[in-house]
Structure 1
Amino acid sequence: MPHLTSTARGAASTDLRVGFGVPGIAHPLLATAEWAELARPGAPLHWVVLAVGDGPGDRPDPHCLEAAGRLRNAGVRVLGHLDVAYGARGFGEQVSDAHRYLDWYLVDGFYLARCPTERTALPEVRRTVATLRALLDGGHVVFGHGGHPHPGYAESADQLVTFSGPWSDYRWSQVAEWTAAYPPDRFCHLVHGVPRGHLDEALRVARWQGASTIYFTDRAGPDPWETLPGYWDEIVSRIGPGVSE
């Protein structure tokens, strides 16, 4: 069964404003309706990741600039997608990508995909984040670990993705005990293959594990995030703007 951290955790989470973190919709030319839907006023979105390929691309893309602008006008954070490759990508490559995202798309922060989890990689990640924050003059930084990292990572990011994977794993997942020292707005869960009939159960798991940013989809395949879930309208209405979960 899902790990229930404590009565206090569950009680605190009932006052939680749950919202979506969208990890990457397909290019606006391929997913025009999806990008328009994300920009609809009132959608409970915490952030949306903009990826042109696996990063900012080789040149400015007017379609991506327009899509990002619509989201910002709707009050939604747009994050640039930086692939850390579990520490294999160098500091210079990541900073170069960050500059292009800022110059071309005016992003509000960064999503560090495939972020390492081990303690030994933490100093280099901290170095990268310090540079990103200087470029952003603040901004929002999300570590896309996909699992629970060493707790030291929580001191460098605004949010940590502590689960990314299929519903078959999520429904039996357990939360690391150290996360109880932080508020739910520090954590994000991304779950694919969630059947419509299990949405309530998935929301309960997120609540008890203390994650206020979620993305649940019924999609599967190599990239389940590139289109919105088939039940998007339903899950939006369940959460709603400003509605506690």
Structure 2
Amino acid sequence: MTNLLLPYYEHPSVRPAEWDAIIAAAPHLYAVVLNPASGPGDRPDEAFVELAARLRAAGVRTLGYVDTAYAHRPRTDVVRDLTQHRDWYATDGAFLDQVAAGEAEFTYYRRLATAVRGTLALNHGTAPHPAYARIADVLVTFEGPWTSYLHLGPPKWRGGTDVRLCHLVYGVPRGADLAVHGADLYCGVPGMGDHPWGTLPHTLEPAQ
């Protein structure tokens, strides 16, 4: 079952074994988020060009990481990043981060959605206004530590059913069950602090 949406923010030249493990797990992956430099970077990164080609050959969907600063980032800058991800790394869609959840910001994201070709994942980190389900394929309705996830409570989403809901959890202990809250997609990693997405889920950790 392809239910793992994986944001792994490490350079392939620094963590080659980890990227090999990700590619080997291709049948279990819904998508991998590519993030060369908190976005596509200023120029193509040849290591990521090669990595994207390997992921594509393995049948893995790739999403280009773009920060939207909760609708405060100029739309032209976001569209530029989307275009560069597509042109340089042949991404299959976009993972928009720091996405606002309110109805007031919906128009900003509706306009951005027209610039995305392929799969669109929106990382709200909380349950957004139901309107966002009209423009996205994936809504991240939780991002936070395992200690908070344990006390998440009943699902708050009351929107449509034609969108996949995703939970991103860090500080996850080995053997923990992330399916406890019934998300369609998920990712749980052991990392904490400022850079938890530089670690892999326990099940994908390469052999030492």
Q: TM-score, normalised by structure 1?
A: 0.79
Identical aligned residues as a percent: 38
Task: Give the number of equivalent residue pairs.
Answer: 205
The residue that corresponds to 1:108 in the other structure is 92
**Alignment gaps of 5+ in structure 2:** none
Contact map agreement 2:127 2:157 (CA 8 A) in 1: no
Could you tell me which amino acid in structure 1 is paired with residue 192 of structure 2? A
Q: 1: CA distance between counterparts of 2:193 and 2:170?
A: 9
Per-residue CA deviation, residues 200-219 of structure 1 (Å, 9 max, x unaligned), is 3x3222x2xxx121101122
Structure 1 residue 29: Cα displacement: 1.5
Could you tell me which amino acid in structure 1 is paired with residue 91 of structure 2? V
Matched ranges for 1:1-245 at <5 A: 17=1, 19-40=3-24, 42-132=26-116, 136=117, 139-174=118-153, 175-179=155-159, 181-182=160-161, 186-197=164-175, 199-200=176-177, 202-205=178-181, 207=182, 211-232=183-204
Does 1 or 2 have the higher relative contact order (CA < 8 Å, sep 6+)? 1
> How much is the aligned-residue C-alpha RMSD, in angstroms?
1.8
Task: State the secondary structure of the residue aligned to 1:203.
Answer: helix
Structure 1 residue 46: Cα displacement: 0.3
Per-residue CA deviation, residues 151-200 of structure 1 (Å, 9 max, x unaligned), is 11111100100000001111111311404x416x6110000111114x13
Structure 1 residue 147: Cα displacement: 0.6
Larger Rg: 1
Q: 1: CA distance between counterparts of 2:99 and 2:134?
A: 14
Structure 1 residue 233: Cα displacement: 5.8
Q: 1: CA distance between counterparts of 2:2 and 2:92?
A: 20
Task: State the secondary structure of the residue aligned to 1:178.
Answer: coil
Q: TM-score, normalised by structure 2?
A: 0.92
Residues 220 and 41 (structure 1), Cα distance of their counterparts in 2 relative to 1, 3 Å cut? closer
Hey, which of these two has a bigger chunk of helix by percent? 1
Structure 1 residue 81: Cα displacement: 0.6
